[in-house]
Amino acid sequence: MTDTINYANSRALVTKPPLAMSVRWRLSVMMFLEFAVWGAWFMPFSAYCKDQLGFDGQQIGNLYGMMALGTMASMFIAGQLADRVMSSEYLMAIFHFAGAGFMYAMTRTHDYNTIWYLMLGYALVYNPTLAMANTLAFANIPDATRDFPTLRVLGTIGWIAANFAVDHLLPVGSASTSRPLLLCAGLSVALGLFSFVLPHTPPSGKRGDAIPFISAIKLLRQPDFGIFFAISFVITIALSFYYMNGVPFLKDAGFDNPTTKLTIGQWSELFFMLMLPLALGRFGIKWVLGIGMGAWAVRYGIFSFAHAKWLILLGVALHGVCFDFFLAAGFIYTDNTAPANIRSSAQSLFTFLTYGFGMYLGFEIGGFVLKRYTVNDVANWHIIWGIPAIGAMVCLLFFLLLWRGNNAKREA
């Protein structure tokens, strides 16, 4: 109980001032557009590749893997630029304008090799903006634990809005066409323009400092921090199965408008994101992260064994616990742990290991599993979902046994 109280109060021993409304609305719009850009194309893309382009499961997994591979290649450079060279809001603008170009180009070709390279280019410019959005938020809010969830929840609303647009505002059947990619390109241009009015966030590092990313890697020598990042890396492999297989799974289960059905998870995310500060104060960071991992194991178990539609939708609804109580809480833990002058690089390191290397392996493994257990275009979802369910449960057991849950920043 002492660790729980210390973690909840370690950044709040002095009452922090409220977040200024002029800053709040700009950061909220940024979060909305950041995840609307991603949500517009990410879930429907597998159906587009399968139904319109004729790609097999391995090829689809490889294309999704490019997003993660691009994260690994670009995150080092992006973190360095944000920490030492250029203001984060200008980087956001540059990267989103470039992303719009790559996404539009993908709609103009059906060739697998060309799309592969375009997807890699898109990943190089979009994925760093996930860490930059967090950097912009954390750098301009008085209290990360109190204020960040109320901003990040707008990202969830943006994802929901983009998925709703795909199924209900675009022409019927758009989820299996290139229209979601065009929607993504348009939203990217909008966020690129809006980035110029974001709060000015100059580099936090100083001349003569050690390279920020190397300093961030040194944080892994702290036992709690190292174990947390290792577990995060492994469990994100399981997360990749959901992103790649969600729409095809619901279509095979007999659901209409599967993209919209998946937004049930984002509605759940809205609730649990707002509950996150209360959960951190009540249970502490260790049990919040543990609950998030446990929810992943339960969800994939439901997908593996369930046949009733209501039970499948319950598994979809668990996304809020899975995402908020692990990934969102992980970003807060990283901000509370890293020194101020390397926070951008620490966020980049976390993103690299989760959205980068972890998801890359997840998409590659997921693509292999999907192809291996699909016969005559019929997927064996019992086995496909059972594999990540077992993986998530193993991660949870190791985490509970090894992680102490102390505030690594106070220890340092």
**C-alpha 202, offset from chain centre:** 24
Query: How many Cβ atoms are within 10 Å of 193's Cβ, its own excluded?
Result: 13
Let me know if domain 21-201+211-411 sits in CATH 1.20.1250.20: yes
Give the start-to-end residue ranges of the domains of the chain.
21-201+211-411
pLDDT in the model for residue 99:
96
Would you place residue 8 in the very low, low, confident or very high pLDDT band (cuts 50, 70, 90)?
Answer: very low
What contacts 58, CB < 8 A, 6 or more positions away?
Answer: 367, 368, 370, 371
Whether the predicted pLDDT of 6 surpasses 50:
no
Q: What is the mean predicted confidence (pLDDT) over 346-350?
A: 76
In the chain, the amino acid numbered 408 is: A
What does the pLDDT look like over 230-249, one tens digit per residue?
Answer: 888 888 888 888 888 888 89
- Site of tokens 């939708």: 313
User: Where does the pLDDT of residue 388 fall: very low under 50, low under 70, confident under 90, or very high at 90 and above?
Assistant: very high
- pLDDT, one tens digit per residue, over 124-163 is 889 888 878 888 888 888 887 788 888 988 998 998 899 8
pLDDT tens-place string over residues 164-196 = 888 888 876 677 788 999 999 999 999 999 999
When pLDDT is averaged across residues 302-306 and rounded to a whole number, the result is 89
Beta bridge partners of 379: 374
When pLDDT is averaged across residues 385-411 and rounded to a whole number, the result is: 78
Please write the tens of the pLDDT for every residue from 26-45: 999 999 999 999 999 988 88
Least confident of 1-5, 109-113, 274-278, 383-387: 1-5
Q: How far apart are CA 56 and CA 79, in angstroms?
A: 35
pLDDT of 115 over the 70 cut: yes
Residue 295 has pLDDT above 80, yes or no: yes
Cα distance between residue 225 and residue 227, in whole Å: 6
Of 373, 300, 289, nearest to 336 by C-alpha is 289
| 81 vs 261: CA distance, rounded Å | 39
Q: How many residues does the chain have?
A: 412
Q: Which candidate, 162, 120, 121, places its Cα nearest to that of 35?
A: 162
Q: What is the mean pLDDT of residues 221-234?
A: 84
Selection from 48, 57, 8 nearest residue 381 by Cα: 57
Question: In angstroms, how far is the first alpha carbon of the chain from the final one?
Answer: 21
Q: How confident is the model at residue 76 (pLDDT cuts 50, 70, 90)?
A: low
Structure tokens at 256: 């209409």
Residue 335 has pLDDT above 50, yes or no: yes
Cite the DSSP H helix spans in 42-111: 45-51, 57-80, 88-106
Q: Average of pLDDT values for 194-201? A: 92
To the nearest whole number, what is the mean pLDDT of the chain? Answer: 83
Q: Is the pTM of this model over 0.75?
A: no
The 3-class secondary structure across 310-321, one letter per residue, is HHHHHHHHCHHH
